[in-house]
Amino acid sequence: MNLHAVVLAPWRACRPAMRWMALVMATLFLLGAIAVAIFSRAPDEWLISIVIISFGEGFLWAFIFSTMALLAVDAHQMRLPGVERSIALALLLYGLLTVMLPAGLFGLYSGHMLVSATLLALSGLCGLLFALLPRFLSALMGFMPMTLQALPMSFHLAGPSHPGFIHWAIPATLAMLLIALFCWRRLLRAINPYEAGLSAPMVLQFRNPTSRGGCNAWNGFAGGGVDNARQIRNRPDWMQPQADLRGCGPGHAVHSLRIALGGMFVPLTPIGRLRQLAFVLVPSLLFIVLMSLSNVHEHVIRTWMTVWHDIGLLMLTWIGAFGSVVLTISLLAPLQQRWQKVNAELPLLALLPGLHDARRVKRDLLRAILLLPLCVQIGLMLVVLALASGRHLSMASTVLLLLSQLGNIGFMFAFALSTVGGRPLPHWGTGLLAAFGYALVSVSIFLPTFSNTVAFVLGDFWLALLAAAWAALIVMLLWLSLRGWRGLQQRPHPFLPN
């Protein structure tokens, strides 16, 4: 057996952009765990560190190691048993490395090797099942921890710091392993393993890069690089967007361009818009209800209204802030897909009636791309600020939440301008900037939800470091926006592929 092929199997199966994204994210999680172990004075700092490492491991198994299933499917279809054996050994090798190596180090540090190994194994299997289960089940996995927390106290499972954790965690790990093996075998033995849909595994969304250069960072987050037209074809009929075609034509360039761009840019009918909002509001309300139930069980004597006020406002602030991240990614991913394609689809837009004036088209295109998302982002920002005021957050906490919102707006402008202006960053630059911005936005959202007195929790040094990081990000986004704007002005026409 070729050891070299075994070691390189997951890195050959995933796209280059995702490799770099995985390395960046794994480094961030590792640095976070080390920082907690060094600077934290909490009694269970080892548990906080291992939980951070577990999040990183779940990410790796969900988006990197799971892609070996795609390689296994190809090998099975081409009847290459040697490749399948290499992939099986690679799964075993990386499973041992990602579980036993950090568990051994934490065991030497804290003396909790078995708990650490079990927690890491659970996280890795959760990530793998996210990729191998059907898509509708993968979406429900995010509510599993909150559902367990919302159960009455008599049904609660022991946490990692409790002695009873091993009694249920090890059987759960074995059960998840059997389910993962069943899903893996089911994918390999399927009659048409490449057929995508709601019942197909999530891992199928991680194939088919949109250009010869592979997938960029935004595509890796939104749809895994699958072509937008392919995504639409894979949806069932009841999920197809209902476009509002009224008011389009040569005299309504912005409306017509939104229809031509497709995706989230398409103007929808009232029923279509309501259906789109339902996919956002229903999970959000379910999230708030489950978190409220968990606190009702913990504080039985408190009234429902008090719990709803405390937890509901906190979760709405959380969802409003992270909703901006999702909106930004949903905007940028299809936009970069369209301008990366080297085919006749994009230049054909220049032949639409009323789009002969290149200078006017540039202005109308920016309005079609940015106007509606900007209004939504501003609305989310106002909601977050109102909720922050309702929770009486300190000035520093409110400023951090405001920066997270403005950062998402800055990303939206910077990458949209650089894309249509023909001056996009290379894939590695997009990945690094996206990872840096995502980490900074996440920290700025996490801190106010944990404590109202951010300045007291961080201290002067870390607060100054956070401010310097935001200043650096703002400078980079301004530079990227100006670079894209100049490129757009110099372009003879905006409908030229990059």
Residue 6 and residue 90 in contact, taking contact as beta carbons nearer than 8 Å: yes
The burial of 7, by beta-carbon neighbours within 10 Å (0-12 exposed, 13-18 middle, 19 or more buried), is given as middle
Nearest residue to 149 via CA among 159, 161, 139: 159
Nearest residue to 222 via CA among 342, 376, 374, 328: 328
Q: Assess if residue 246 is contained within a domain.
A: yes
Predicted local confidence at residue 319, as pLDDT: 64
Q: Assess if residue 218 is contained within a domain.
A: no
Q: Assess if residue 344 is contained within a domain.
A: yes
Q: Assess if residue 231 is contained within a domain.
A: no
Residues 439 and 291 occupy one common structural domain: yes
Domain edge (last residue) among 209, 225, 250 = 209
Q: Report the distance separating Cα 462 and Cα 445, nearest Å.
A: 16
- Give the residue ranges of the chain where pLDDT is below 70: 1, 40-43, 139-140, 142-157, 196-198, 208-241, 276, 278-322, 343-344, 449-460
Residues 241 and 204 occupy one common structural domain: no
Predicted local confidence at residue 295, as pLDDT: 55
Q: Assess if residue 271 is contained within a domain.
A: yes
Residues 246 and 110 occupy one common structural domain: no
Residues 104 and 184 occupy one common structural domain: yes
What number of CA atoms fall less than 13 Å from residue 422's CA on the CB side? 15
Each residue of 227-248: pLDDT tens digit?
555 666 666 665 666 777 777 7
**Domain count for the chain:** 2
Predicted local confidence at residue 222, as pLDDT: 40
Containing structural domain, residue 161: 1-209
Residues 280 and 399 occupy one common structural domain: yes
Residues 120 and 177 occupy one common structural domain: yes
Each residue of 104-133: pLDDT tens digit?
887 777 777 888 899 999 999 999 999 998
Q: Assess if residue 225 is contained within a domain.
A: no
Each residue of 11-60: pLDDT tens digit?
888 877 777 777 777 787 888 777 777 776 666 777 788 888 888 888 89
Residues 393 and 272 occupy one common structural domain: yes
Residue 245 and residue 352 in contact, taking contact as beta carbons nearer than 8 Å: no
Q: Assess if residue 292 is contained within a domain.
A: yes
Residues 164 and 312 occupy one common structural domain: no
Q: Report the distance separating Cα 318 and Cα 288, nearest Å.
A: 10
Residues 3 and 141 occupy one common structural domain: yes
Q: Assess if residue 227 is contained within a domain.
A: no
Residues 283 and 400 occupy one common structural domain: yes
Residues 290 and 389 occupy one common structural domain: yes
Predicted local confidence at residue 292, as pLDDT: 59
Residues 126 and 244 occupy one common structural domain: no
